[in-house]
Structure formats: C-alpha cells, structure tokens
Structure 1
Amino acid sequence: MVCFRLSPVPGSGLLMLCLVLGAVSSYALELNLTNSEKATCLYAKWQMNFTIRYETTNNSHKTVSISDFGAATYNGSFCGDDHNDPQIVMQFGSGFSWIVNFAKESSSYLINSISFSYNTSDTTTFPDAKKKGVLTVNDSVGFQVPLNDIFRCNSLSTLEKDNVVQHYWDVHVQAFVQNGTVSTKEFLCDKDKTLTTTVPVIPTSVPSPTTTPTPKEKPETGSYSVTSSNGTCLLANMGLQLNITQDKVASVININPNTTNATGNCHSKTALLRLSGSNIKYLDFVFAVKNDNRFYLKEVNVSVYLVNGSVFSIANNNLSYWDAPLGSSYMCNKEQTVSVSGAFQINTFNLRVQPFSVMEGKYSTAEECSADSDLNFLIPVAVGVALGFLIIVVFISYMIGRRKSRTGYQSV
C-alpha cells in the first residue's frame, strides 16, 4: 500500500490517500481514500481501458489502446466537504488524466460525470498526430446509488464520444462511505441485474422464431490479435456467425474479417478481444484464468445494428467455454456454438485462440475440442473397419475359388 499526504482542506482536516496499485486479485486498480481520522470515506476498485482514434499527418486515421496504469498517481483525489463534492483524480502515462465526479443527494449519491484527457503532443503514443495538444472528453453519467450501498457492475460498460471509447468492468465504488466502513449491500447496474434475473447461464434451447432466417454460407475465417507494450499478447483465428432473435424475428450475421477491427487488452488474470465493424458496435470476448493453470472464455458482450435499424445488445459474464491449459492454445476446427443467451448464440468455425502466454507472436501447442478429438479417433477406426471388411471379402473370394477348383478334378 502506498500513501500520499495531501494538503489540508478547509473543514476536513488533513487527508491521507492510500492506494493499492497493480493487479489485486483480478482487479487492475483499487483506491481507498481516508479522511483526517483515517476512516475510509471513498472506496473504488475497477478495471478499464481506453481506445483513441486520431488523425495522422497524412490525413489517415490510427487507433491506439491505453491499458497500462502501473505508474498511476491520484494527486487531487478528494473525499468532499461542505463546499466541494468528492472526486477521483488519476494521472498516468504521458499526459493522461481521468476524473470521476460524485454528488450527494438526501438519501443517495450520483456518479455524476467522467472526464478523460490525453495529450497528442506525446510522440511516443501519437507519433504522427496531425493535431497537437491536450484534448478532453466529458461524459455525463448521472447514475444514482442509495447512500449506504456500494455500486457494482461486473459487466462491461462503454462510453463513446469524440473518437474515444472508454471500457469499464468489474467496477465496485462507494462514495460517502458511512462510519468508515465500506458497505456489503450492493446496488447492481442494469446489465448485472439482467444477467442475474433473466439471462440463463447456458441455455439448452433457442426459442422458435416467428420468422425463419435465411440460411447463411459458412463465414470467412479471420485472424485477430491484441498487442501490449511487450508485443502480441492475444491471438485468435475464427470464422464467426451471429444468431440473433429479437421480437420473435431471427437474424443471421456472418462477420467479415476484412471489415472488422480488433482491439483489446491483456492482464495477468484477464484478457479482452473486442471486434467492431460497420454493423457491429462491439463484440467482446473476455477470457479469464482459473485455478492458476487454465484459461477459459468467461464473458461475451455484444451490441449489433440490425437491418431494421434497431440495436441488439446483450451480455453474459458467467460462461464457461474454450477451456485449455495456460501456455497452450484452444482449437476447434468443427462448427461450435457459444450460447450467450436464449436470444443470442455464436457459431464458430476453424477456431483457435490463445489469450495468455503468447511467445514471439506464435501459437503454442493446441488443446483440441472433443469434436475434433472424436473425428481424429474415428478416422483410424473407419480405416480399420474398411480393411477388415476387405480382408473378409478377399477370404470369401479365396474360399469360393478353392471350391470351384476342387470340383473340376473329381474322378469319373
């Protein structure tokens, strides 16, 4: 734990800011802000990353992902007093800052707004940016939480504005902590409520749609990757077919890898692959480590523009697919179905993924799915059966030939 002593604030005494940085459990960041009596007054832990699209000097566009917060500082973070509302103020990288503002009402508090600033004069992150200087994106949130509750949102939340996409997940936050004790009573975001009450973990069947979708041909296989400061950290090859049912109307969408962008991030215990395109707002595959020796697909989040102009969005963070040992990849050449909910399934083809322990940008030895293993087993069995049948045919032909030969040499 690292503590920063801040300057005195009128009416609040001397504040101590204590930080726990790095991957604590599965969390990238954790903040415990205390008051003059060393009692917790604001608590938060969360994961996040940012994707920034900027114009280059040759009038093209590039995208950068920001997910390294290892050297973050929190100078200016504040519990609040009679005249000022609480803030989380975070600085990281070269000229990045992130501010969350809270506000108090009679029996609740607001996660009021989020501000993110970045400096395109930083030639390391934006080496060829056309416009130089500090740019700020302000997003009004206005999320209301009961005063004595801790807000929880394990699902992925996204803010998009002015060429900046902000991703948040595994969020726990409580402003105005009462009596120095963080509450155990959780107030869930809508996505977590949906997953808890309506989204089945692994549904056994899909509701029959009123309209039968037009059959689609097999989707093209795409190659996707995620890069961190240490090089390629996630690899994925797969053909993807989305099956969506909304208002009893079924749709089938094949993802075209040639028009699909891949971003994401990698951490020690979690990894994210985000796909986006002209008709796909986002399709997220979130991987996790279990038992310190295996990985699996834990979560899928999707938001897709349908042909009727509506938007279909759903999430499930309680999946269990594509299980394989750490240090290896997972492979399934045969068609496989990931059931995210009763209304949304993903068919995969020629699948191979490795979200952890990628060495030199190459796949490690693959663990095959049971469908492929069964196929590999059946091939030699089929060959053996065919050979056995051939031997029987030859043997019968030989016996028939001998019988005819004996018949021709009978005495008269």
Structure 2
Amino acid sequence: MVCFRLSLMPGSGLVSLCLVLGAVSAYALELNLMNSEKATCLYAKWQMNFTIRYETTNNKYKTVTISGLGNATYNGSTCGDDQNGPKIEVQFGSGFSWTVNFTKEVSTYSIENISFSYDTHDNTTFPDAKEKGVFTVHYPVAFRIPLDDIFRCNAILTLQENMVVQHYWDVHVQAYVQNGTVSTKEFLCDKDKTTTMVPIVPTSLPSPTTTPTPKEKPEIGSYSVNNSNGTCLLATMGLQLNMTHDKVASVVNINPNTTDFTGSCHSQTALLRLNSSNIKYLDFVFAVKNENRFYLKEVNVSMYLDNGSVFSTANNNLSYWDAPLGSSYMCNKEQTVSVSGAFQINTFGLRVQPFSVIEGKYSTAQECSLDDDTILIPIIVGAGLSGLIIVIVIAYLIGRRKSYAGYQTL
C-alpha cells in the first residue's frame, strides 16, 4: 500500500491523498510507504527543483527551472525486498521522472544514487531544443546514515551533473523504518550542523605564505534568475575571489562575459549560481528573516586552481547584505564577504534583489553604511570645531602669559 500526504507551504493547511496528487504546484512532498502489514517501512518529506541548461536550434543555450511538482505520482516506489532495496520514484510534468535508491548494511543505510530524467519533446518546456529525446543524469551519493535515525537537512543541497543542477531542501527521510514507527532521532547533514570552530592560537610563528599579486578591480556584471512568473532575482556586482590553499594565496577576478549563471527562487530562499571554465560553482543563497527582511545566508564555492587542485569551502551561517523585503541592497564601495579563513569575496558596485522583483527592475535600494556619506558631515564639522576651540584656548593662554610678563612686583 502506498499513501502519501502533501503539505502546502506554511500557513496553508494540509491536503491528505492516496495514490493521486492534487494539481497544486507549491507543495512539499511527503511520502509514507507501507508494507503488506500496513506498517510504515519508508518515510520521506522534502522539497526539490531542477535547473536544466539545453542547446537551442540556433546553437545558443537556454536555462529552464522545473519547480512545479503538483501533478506528481509515485508509481514504482517500493519498500524493497530481500533482493532489492527501497526506492522512491516520482513522475511529474511532461516526461520528468526522479528516482532515489537505498541500500542497507548491518547498522547503517545509504542514499545510494539519484537519477533524474527529462524529455525535450515537451515543446512547452523546451520549445526550441536542438536535440529531442529523453535524457537521464545519474548522481552517485553513497551517503551513510545510522539504521535507526531519520536523515534531516533543512539547508539547500546542490547536485550538479552535466547540464542539470538539482536543489533539495527541508529533507527528512528514513528508508528502513523500524517496527512501523518513524524515528525521532535525527542524523543531520553537514550544513545543518552548528558546530562552532574555536580559533587555535599558534604558539610559534606560522610558516610564510605566498603573497598574491594585487589585481585591478573586476568588471561589474549583471545576473538574473527567472521562473514561471518572470525575473525573480537580480544581481549586479564585480567579484574578486581571495583564497588561500596549501599556504599559497591567490586572487581571481570573475569575468562576467565568460561566466554562466543559473538559480532558483522560492518564498523563503533564493539561489544565484555562477560557473565558468575554472569555477565549478559559486553559490549565493539568500533567505528571509522575520518575514520582512532578506540577507545573504550562505556561500558555497568549488573551483579549479592553476596547479590543477580543487579548492572548495562553504558557510551557511552568514549575515550580509541585509535589507527590507520589497527593496534592493546596494553598496557601491568595496565590501568584503568573509566566507572562511581561507576564502573571502570582495564586491564592487554591488546591488542585489533576491525577492519581490517587479517587472524585472530593481526596487528602491537600501545603501550600505560604507556608501552613507551623511555621517561624515557631523564628524568633519565636529572635528573642525574641536580644533578651533583648541587653537583659541592655546592663544588665550599664551596671551595671558605675555600680559603677566609686563608687570613687576613692587
């Protein structure tokens, strides 16, 4: 027996269904598989979307984001048996399918691999695709979880294979439910862990590092993300990446003319991803806080260095570029985003709006404190008055000393 429940986004209530999903697009998928004894054997709840880059008939490339999963079905999902492990299969849209397979060991189970298929014969989604056919990408995961735990990851997980980028968030899954009861013990993904790194104070002088050659300011580029409603994210910025790898420091200016960009937009999060020949991905993840402001919450980067090695780092606990929803954030002067001790981003001519974009244009900007020159006026005036007062006091004291020197005691 296969039953599942679809949860609307927060505040919208619940819709319970079996075997058929309602035709609503803004759902978090929730699957509850039951065995022949009507006991839960697999439980999963998650959200996902897919960004596909394809070649058009005029030899250019387009990007489309698939996020409407309201018409999904679960045909082929199974709890598994002695020969085959559990499997979740989801079908949605026109020719889209998604499969995840699980395997079991003595005390752990694994999310073994994920497959995603799309059909470019769908003229609504791919109206000008150069190649028509069914394409499938496979992503090996092999992620191990204790057998009695439920895996949880609220942060955005990104998988990229060929020209498909997959995003997952609010993930809860237990593939081998024990005794029909979903576990309350959670196994967290790395991005959800909040372990604080305590800085280590060296007792001896550190080894010298190679100082990078200073570079000119990077060229300012314009980036955007579209969904079914049009442009949903805007970003304009010059980016300079500063990294230290194996005690060697380097600086890379991003060239917007040779940089591709994709992303996705949701009610509480938004993603801008940049990639080029030497940047596998550079993710800017924005989030909503207190229901009325947005900020840069997360940066993930993986790039190829000149020596052939790969530099990767991530931080999902940032707090930059804070501004009210319905406005944009702007900082014309150079600003530094410190992602880790080994990676910082310098921005130039920055302006971003990841939510509430209207007609593809920026809304009124909230300027950063570096751009706010009004505070300099009272500082300058105050400093000038203080200096003038000091000069007057000194002149007064000198005058009194001279006047006293003109009289002799009788």
TM-score, normalised to structure 1, is: 0.81
Query: CA RMSD, aligned part only?
Result: 2.8
Q: Report the CA distance shift for 1:309/1:47 in structure 2 as closer, same or farther (over 3 A).
A: farther
> How far apart are the structure 1 equivalents of 2:58 and 2:321?
42
The amino acid that maps onto 2:375 is F
Alignment gaps of 5+ in structure 1:
1-14, 201-206, 390-412
The amino acid that maps onto 2:307 is N
Q: Report the CA distance shift for 1:272/1:101 in structure 2 as closer, same or farther (over 3 A).
A: same
What residue number does 1:290 align with? 289
Does structure 1 conserve the Cα–Cα contact (< 8 Å) formed by 2:33 and 2:78? no
Does structure 2 conserve the Cα–Cα contact (< 8 Å) formed by 1:103 and 1:110? yes
The amino acid that maps onto 2:9 is A
The amino acid that maps onto 2:166 is Q
Q: Report the CA distance shift for 1:61/1:353 in structure 2 as closer, same or farther (over 3 A).
A: closer
Identical residues among aligned pairs (%): 75
What residue number does 2:92 align with? 92
What residue number does 1:9 align with? none
> How far apart are the structure 1 equivalents of 2:198 and 2:166?
25
Map of 1:152-167 to 2, 5 A cutoff? 152-167=152-167
What residue number does 1:239 align with? 238
* SS of the residue 2:370 aligns to: helix
**Partner deviation per Cα, 1:105-132 (whole Å, 9 max, x = no partner):** 2222121221111001011111122221
What residue number does 1:349 align with? 348
Does structure 2 conserve the Cα–Cα contact (< 8 Å) formed by 1:16 and 1:38? no
* SS of the residue 2:214 aligns to: coil
Does structure 1 conserve the Cα–Cα contact (< 8 Å) formed by 2:87 and 2:102? yes
Does structure 1 conserve the Cα–Cα contact (< 8 Å) formed by 2:53 and 2:63? yes
> How far apart are the structure 1 equivalents of 2:316 and 2:180?
31
The amino acid that maps onto 1:30 is L
What residue number does 2:277 align with? 278
Does structure 2 conserve the Cα–Cα contact (< 8 Å) formed by 1:155 and 1:315? no
Q: Report the CA distance shift for 1:160/1:356 in structure 2 as closer, same or farther (over 3 A).
A: closer
**Partner deviation per Cα, 1:66-97 (whole Å, 9 max, x = no partner):** 23323333233222234542111111221100
Is 1:17–2:3 an aligned residue pair? yes
> How far apart are the structure 2 equivalents of 1:23 and 1:212?
49
> How far apart are the structure 1 equivalents of 2:216 and 2:263?
28
> How far apart are the structure 1 equivalents of 2:49 and 2:150?
22
Is 1:222–2:208 an aligned residue pair? no
Is 1:263–2:238 an aligned residue pair? no
What residue number does 2:30 align with? 31
The amino acid that maps onto 2:57 is T
Does structure 2 conserve the Cα–Cα contact (< 8 Å) formed by 1:151 and 1:172? yes
Does structure 1 conserve the Cα–Cα contact (< 8 Å) formed by 2:75 and 2:90? yes
What residue number does 1:378 align with? 376
The number of equivalent residue pairs is 367
Does structure 1 conserve the Cα–Cα contact (< 8 Å) formed by 2:119 and 2:133? yes
What residue number does 1:196 align with? 195
What residue number does 1:140 align with? 140
* Aligned-residue offset at 1:38: 5.1
* Aligned-residue offset at 1:21: 4.2
> How far apart are the structure 1 equivalents of 2:208 and 2:257?
30
> How far apart are the structure 1 equivalents of 2:207 and 2:169?
33
* Aligned-residue offset at 1:258: 1.1
Does structure 1 conserve the Cα–Cα contact (< 8 Å) formed by 2:329 and 2:353? yes
Does structure 2 conserve the Cα–Cα contact (< 8 Å) formed by 1:233 and 1:358? yes
Which range moves more in the overlay, 344-353 or 73-82?
73-82
The amino acid that maps onto 1:224 is Y
> How far apart are the structure 2 equivalents of 1:21 and 1:219?
45
* Aligned-residue offset at 1:344: 0.9
Q: Report the CA distance shift for 1:54/1:189 in structure 2 as closer, same or farther (over 3 A).
A: same
